[in-house]
Structure 1
């Protein structure tokens, strides 16, 4: 595979990210020192295996694009896309028709954290396949919901994967598939779906949890916190740093219900945990551990139980907030360790899903997360099956804090 082009689709507005008429579209918002689009384009321009990069923009965005992305010898002039992502990709494919590359990688500008290893995995797999997409495991329980808002079925997630970009294809095959799809009037959510419809076999390679798509305002908060952390990397490489360990503990009692939330995973059970939020003792304990490591209060001081905003809230929100505070101080989460104390439910079958979920929330690798479980040998409230407790420790690395 010697002639490869990349198409970066950047024609959206970012309505779900809180876009207003006087705001720049999300791909031109800055995270750290660069725009989202500039960060998304850079890994493809720096990859020597990619000959050209074609960006597709929205009509009227020429000036803001020029101010966002620096010229590069392998960066082609931008082309105007259509109303749908599908139309924009087709515009990009047609724009490079004269180049007629062997393969093309199609990437969303809203994924600015794509890494070089992921790009190389897709390219490598294209040697033996006509289509390749990166995927990550689906962690949450998936429900099929009826038109009237009722749960119709629970979908088995063992075979489910969440698709990412860049998605790679043999150029002539995917261009022809897009042309057929346009003529048919069908609407597809990604290029792999068009390939499947056109009969192109699509292989999967391992995705990257950090290659997250910036969709909501909360996603941008996390991205900015990540940039703040990276801005302090020099303190670790060229200066001094310190390591801190924080601890946390939480307990919630059982009440009526049919499931519990534990370490970010919904587990069917004959009782629910009772609390102002979703009562996830594992995430609450870990949130306190992170806050303890940076000496910034506890979960109650940041999310008071008396505040109705947090009634029934997903505890992942609290943990993301604590991780963001660590990142804002230039810190890095090195390790997270949770011990769940209960008689039931069994934690073992859900351990890997818990580790993956926590890693995703924190933006770290799953091998930096440990989840363990123990019983209290029938003693105390946990032994009497009246509730669940959890204790956690978190290790963070910070630029040295001088008095």
Structure 2
């Protein structure tokens, strides 16, 4: 069944700390979750209603998607829905789903149930039965409320576009509409209940974002990295972000911190995002003598932008000298700081090659690293 959709994203979101519709959730702006779900369910058009300063933010948040447009809403939710209705094109009796941007986990199954229930009715809403015992009172209980027949309304809510327009036309001026179903009910319309989705939570308070992140399906990936540098004249060496006094230094285009280089490659590799040379070409004079911690920070920022997170890292330094053990704790603490990981999620080890190979002959130092990450599935 063909349908259109209105996504209300004009609120200030003050209880959630402001601008909740533009905040990242699993690496995507909150509003994008809903718009993508509606477009994937074959919505013919999606009108996103935003505040006056939200047009550019919507363009940025929804870049790359087709089939949507943004309009400016009003001071109240009812005004924003009216603005969305006015912006709709197509047949006057076409079904329209009105959805709150603050409910990101919209499924195609809920959309299908709503459209099916709209046949022969003025509206349909997704809802869940109230399962908790309800109390009424202020500081003390005055009464226990019978929860039989009580439902928690969700969005989307589905209506024929012309029926919803007519209901809003009859809505008392200055009255607040808690949802669109109430507007149609007030106009004598029949609104059906369909099974909602417990995952279709509304992001209202800051702690709701932590719960929402926990609901996102994630995949675990592991990346590995390896790096080696020659020894040359010098008085110190950088390893895992820590400068160590030594009678030689490692030669390289940057500060030649093999531990950080290997770890950067491990993070990039886990994401399938190339290697350190792709992002920081050694032929670019910009990186001559550069501190390698910025390479690792860049890799983690790219991981965060995709909604991922680092779980743990493990670095092994391979050399005869310098002795790593006296500096290992400082290295772990520095990596913990760079990566924003707890100390027990950071491991630094060292080994020798028993005088074998280029590290055994003290021609150079090598490092290997493993990084475990989580990405939205």
Interval of TM-score (by shorter of Structure 1 and Structure 2): 0.5 to 0.7
Q: Is 1:112 aligned with 2:101?
A: no
For residue 32 of structure 1, report the CA deviation from its aligned partner. 1.5
Gap change, CA 1:173 and 1:129, over 3 Å in 2:
same
For residue 399 of structure 1, report the CA deviation from its aligned partner. 9.4
Superposed counterparts of 1:214-293, under 5 Å:
214-227=203-216, 230-232=217-219
SS in 2 for 1:165: strand
Maintained 8 Å contact 2:93/2:163: no
CA-based RMSD of the aligned residues comes to 2.4
CA distance in 2, matches of 1:89, 1:12: 12
Q: Is 1:103 aligned with 2:107?
A: no
* Match 2:144 to one of 154, 172, 184: 154
Gap change, CA 1:78 and 1:141, over 3 Å in 2:
same
CA distance in 1, matches of 2:373, 2:2: 44
Q: Which residue of 2 aligns with 1:14?
A: 13
What TM-score does the superposition give when structure 2 sets the normalisation length?
0.57
SS in 1 for 2:184: helix
Maintained 8 Å contact 1:225/1:328: no
- Structure 2 runs not aligned, ≥5 long: 223-307, 312-371
What TM-score does the superposition give when structure 1 sets the normalisation length?
0.53
CA distances 1:170-194 after superposition (whole Å, capped 9, x unpaired): 111111111221x532211001111
SS in 1 for 2:155: coil
For residue 14 of structure 1, report the CA deviation from its aligned partner. 1.3
For residue 106 of structure 1, report the CA deviation from its aligned partner. 0.4
CA distances 1:330-361 after superposition (whole Å, capped 9, x unpaired): 8xxxxxxxxxxxxxxxxxxxxxxxxxxxxxxx
CA distance in 2, matches of 1:174, 1:207: 21
Rg larger in 1 or in 2?
2
For residue 234 of structure 1, report the CA deviation from its aligned partner. 7.1
Count of residues in correspondence between the two structures? 229
Gap change, CA 1:206 and 1:233, over 3 Å in 2:
farther
Q: Which residue of 1 aligns with 2:51?
A: 58
Maintained 8 Å contact 2:21/2:30: yes
Gap change, CA 1:399 and 1:167, over 3 Å in 2:
same
Gap change, CA 1:234 and 1:91, over 3 Å in 2:
farther
Q: Which residue of 2 aligns with 1:70?
A: 63
Maintained 8 Å contact 2:221/2:373: no
CA distances 1:208-236 after superposition (whole Å, capped 9, x unpaired): 00011111111101222334xx231678x
Maintained 8 Å contact 1:3/1:101: no
